Structure 1
């Protein structure tokens, strides 16, 4: 009976090590997937930054053009009133 306990304990230890090994393999795989997702996220964030800059430039161009048109219209309006 004393022999069954060490064998049982050894088997339990081996099962725990096997379970731990499987868990570490799954963890390693998950970390690899997370790294891949972070790389994809970085690409997406760079694209968003570029797109935001492009849209900001468009907005500033439209704002400047609109301001020029409003100023010209105001000058023409003043010139028309003074005549």
Structure 2
């Protein structure tokens, strides 16, 4: 193989190595962002559960008050 072809091959391997390094960095960043997204989704589930519990508590109190009002009006 002549030196021109060898130099070209080495240049292409260097470009490939550089591209793979950038890809590795992108994959690492994506993994970090995915972990943050999972934590955010978990927090969102917790807040949604708390809000649902609050809503059910308020609904239960309103139903109880409504039933008490109905009972007092029928007496």
TM-score by length of 2: 0.96
Deviation at 1:6, TM superposition (A): 1.4
The aligned residue for residue 27 of structure 1 is 23
Distance 2:73 2:8 in 1: 94
Q: Identify the range of structure 1 (47-56 vs 5-14) with the bigger mean alpha-carbon deviation.
A: 5-14
The aligned residue for residue 51 of structure 2 is 55
Unaligned 5+ segments in structure 2 are none
Distance 1:48 1:17 in 2: 46
Distance 1:12 1:73 in 2: 89
Q: Confirm or deny that 1:76 pairs with 2:62.
A: no
Counting matched residue pairs gives: 75
Unaligned 5+ segments in structure 1 are none
> Is the radius of gyration larger for structure 1 or structure 2?
1
Distance 2:20 2:74 in 1: 79
Deviation at 1:8, TM superposition (A): 1.1
TM-score by length of 1: 0.87
